[in-house]
Amino acid sequence: MKQRVLDLQKTLEFNDLSLTQSRNEEFRRLPPEVNVSLPVFSPQKINTKQLNQLFGSLSELSMKTKHGYTMETPEAVSSPPVKPLLNEPELITTITTKHDDIAVTKSGDLIYTDYKRGSVNKVRKRQIVELIRLQGWKPSNVYSTFAGDLLIIMDSDDGEQSKLARYTGQIERETFQFVNTVKPLYSSGYFTKYISENRNLDICVADFLAKAVVVVNQAGNLRFRYTGHSSTTKTFFEPVGVTTDSQSQILTSDCFNSCIHIFDQDGQFLSYIENCELFRPWGLCVNTKDHLFVAESDSKKVKQIKYM
């Protein structure tokens, strides 16, 4: 290649075309053809006993069938089948009790609030552990979320303010108290607010004195206030207990009208539960079968109701 460059430079320098030589014939000749034979693998018979001695072996897969159980799916992720509301809800069970208003975490720990001490406590294996001690605030109601956090409704010591706080362990992550930093989200007053979390992670608070169910999103922004339905004419709508079901429907107990309101996740009224021998319904919860449990304030009974 170097020699060829020198020859070309010399041709340009002396302007003598005779110095050039045609290389056409040379370039027409292709390089020699190379035939490659790929190697052939000759396998040997595998000695399984020798392999077992070197690496060990696995036992055969054993499968057993277990009947009579259901698999639980994450509440905030799965999409359950649509269940229509029953025209006539059915009373299934009545349980006589004397206690209400507690929360249970996913790990099975019992959580309760001590209003006088200003603490939130955990019960596990008969041992009471103080999780949170508040300063200047008193906790009234507590709820364990899908993510394992605690939502706590609390009132100021002077009873003039109320707020909702989210705790991860003993750490307060955020508080929800105002709409646009000015108007209070919740009414002030003791023991008048009950809380639940919907499948879309909205937070639902039944605010008795405000006569509304206040629903905020996960960030604490107000989505809507449910203030009852016009067909309730006996007395004012004053909600107490609140819960949600697999359809993201919200249920709240209208204690003094002795009925339960059902509305969707956007605040649209759907139906009432107003028979089933209900009298002064208060605390509410829904199990994995979408059966509603209602704690009555006066009779000290818990009633199980099928409404879907």
User: How confident is the model at residue 72, as a pLDDT?
Assistant: 46
Q: What angle do CA 51, 57, 63 make, to 5 degrees?
A: 150
Q: Say what the pLDDT of residue 55 is.
A: 73
Residue 213 included in any domain: yes
Q: What is the mean pLDDT of the chain?
A: 84
Q: Report d(CA 64, CA 26) in Å as an integer.
A: 79
Residue 257 lies in a domain: yes
Lowest mean pLDDT among 43-57, 228-242, 271-285: 43-57
Per-residue model confidence (pLDDT) at position 305: 92
- Span of 9-23, 43-57, 192-206 with lowest mean pLDDT: 9-23
Residue 65 pLDDT class (50, 70, 90 cuts): low
Give 15's pLDDT tier (boundaries 50, 70, 90).
Answer: low
Q: What is the mean pLDDT of residues 37-51?
A: 76
193: Cβ–Cβ under 8 A, 6 or more apart, which residues?
140, 141, 153, 162, 186, 187, 205, 206, 207, 208
The per-residue pLDDT for 74 is: 44
Q: How many Cβ atoms are within 10 Å of 217's Cβ, its own excluded?
A: 14
50 falls within a domain: no
Q: What is the mean pLDDT of residues 136-147?
A: 92
Domain coverage including residue 161: 90-306
- pLDDT at residue 27, as a whole number: 60
Domain membership of residue 39 (yes or no) is no
Please give the share of the chain, as a percent, with pLDDT higher than 90. 44
273 falls within a domain: yes
Q: Confidence class of residue 142 from pLDDT cuts 50, 70 and 90? A: very high
pLDDT of residue 24: 58
For residues 104-111, give the mean pLDDT: 84
* pLDDT > 90? residue 173: yes
The answer, yes or no, to whether residue 73 has pLDDT greater than 50, is no
Lowest mean pLDDT segment, chosen from 20-24, 44-48, 239-243: 20-24
Please report whether residue 12 resides in a domain.
no
Higher pLDDT: 37 or 229? It is 229
- pLDDT value at residue 68: 55
Average pLDDT rounded to a whole number, residues 196-207: 96
Alpha helices in 15-83 (DSSP H): 24-28, 48-55
Helix (H) or strand (E) holding 10: helix 2-14
Confidence check: pLDDT of 51 > 80: no
How many distinct structural domains can be found in the chain?
A: 1
Q: How confident is the model at residue 78 (pLDDT cuts 50, 70, 90)?
A: low
Phi, psi of 147, deg, nearest 5: -85, -5
DSSP annotation of 68 reads S
Domain assignment present for residue 37? The answer is no
Q: For residue 71, is it within any domain?
A: no
What is the mean predicted confidence (pLDDT) over 154-177?
93
Does the structure show a pLDDT above 70 at 117? yes
**CATH code (residue 297):** 2.120.10.30
Q: How far apart are CA 10 and CA 13, in angstroms?
A: 5
